[in-house]
Chains A and B, each alone.
Chain A
Amino acid sequence: MIVFDTFSERFTRRFARASSRRSMLARFGAAMLAAPAFPMLPVARARAADADVNGLTDFERNAQTKDPAKCSYWRHCAIDGILCGCCGGGVHTCPPGAEPSPICWIGTCRNPDDGRHYVIAYRDCCGRSACTTKDPDCACDTNDRDLPIYSPFNSNDILWCYGKAAATYHCSTAVLMGQAS
């Protein structure tokens, strides 16, 4: 123990002689000045990670406008479910035997052809058991501008088969409402 105490004392004294409080203050001041450049809070980091230097999300960089039966179709930027187009319906129609939920999740997606954002209504089709498909391009989990469920009207994790329609989820549509402003 005495050996350890002696070592500590010598080290501390040597360190104190070799370093100045002024240089410490200078380094601390520089660190404080640079701090705002590095987002420290998890929410700020998560938000920063959502978009690249061009302001595009991962989904938006890979979005396409040709095939609506794929998750990468531009209107599917926040579709947490199975595409109705893979289940006998379409991008805005329910398959036979399923009915559209009276309420829906509404968000905005960017069309890569014109770079503009459009309002999209994700209306679930309900009343039949979940559509099963082996095509991996049909079961989507994209989440642009989706928020946690404590902000329910902005969360696509909620089951939107609610209201008059049966509560059984079958698949999801993505109805184009118009250009967002």
Chain B
Amino acid sequence: MIAASLTAAAKLPPTQSAYLEGCGGCHGIDGRSYAPKVPDIAGQAGFYLCTQAGRRYIARLPNVDFAHLDAQQLASVMNYVVFTLGGGSAPAGAPPFTAAEMAAARAETIDSPDLMRVRAGIIAGILKTCPAARGLLAYGAP
């Protein structure tokens, strides 16, 4: 279950270290949660960049904005999630997250009591542009 690339005592790159400490416990060391109740990141997270609404959605997720990281570190972790762990799911030419973008997102964290309904609407929009993103529907399916 542990990624073979992680040698026990190897020094982890700062962004990977921050991902593990803040996200990897639930979303998986390699972006695969192996738990149907936690969304997978591997091969999927980049699809959110198919639409501007999807991009704003993942930047404004509560646990993203509550991370104990400054805006620059948070942007680096987001780019690691969508471009590295996302494994080619991001559309060609999608710009990386910036510190300014993440700082602005923190000022408008999603505060809807029904996050799953918000997510469903976002994914419906993404599927019109990127039909390959169907895997996003696995999380939260009855």
Contacts and interface: CB of A to CB of B under 8 A. Distances in A.
Contact of B66 (A119, A151, A176, A178): A151
Interface string B1-16: 1100011111111100
Q: Main SS of chain B's interface residues?
A: loop
Contacts of B7: 178
A86 B97 CA distance: 46
A123 to B, nearest CB: 8
B12 A163 contact: no
A115 B17 CA distance: 17
A121 B28 CA distance: 11
A106 B20 contact: yes
A162 interface: yes
Contact of B35 (A119, A151, A162, A181): A162
Contacts of A119: 12, 17, 20-21
Given A118-B9, A181-B11, A102 B17 contact: no
Contacts of A178: 6-12, 17
Interface size class for chain A? 20 to 34
A153 B11 contact: no
A151 B24 CA distance: 15
A105 B9 CA distance: 19
Contacts of B61: none
Contacts of B139: none
A112 to B, nearest CB: 15
- Lowest 4 CB-CB distances: which A-B pairs, in order? A163-B35, A102-B34, A106-B25, A179-B11
Interface of A: 100, 102-108, 118-119, 121, 151-154, 160, 162-164, 175-181
14 contacts: A102-B1, A103-B38, A118-B9, A119-B12, A119-B17, A121-B20, A163-B34, A164-B35, A175-B2, A177-B29, A178-B8, A179-B9, A179-B10, A179-B11
Given A121-B25, A178-B10, 17 more contacts: A102-B33, A102-B38, A103-B26, A108-B21, A121-B20, A121-B29, A152-B63, A153-B26, A153-B63, A154-B68, A162-B35, A176-B8, A177-B6, A178-B7, A178-B12, A179-B12, A181-B17
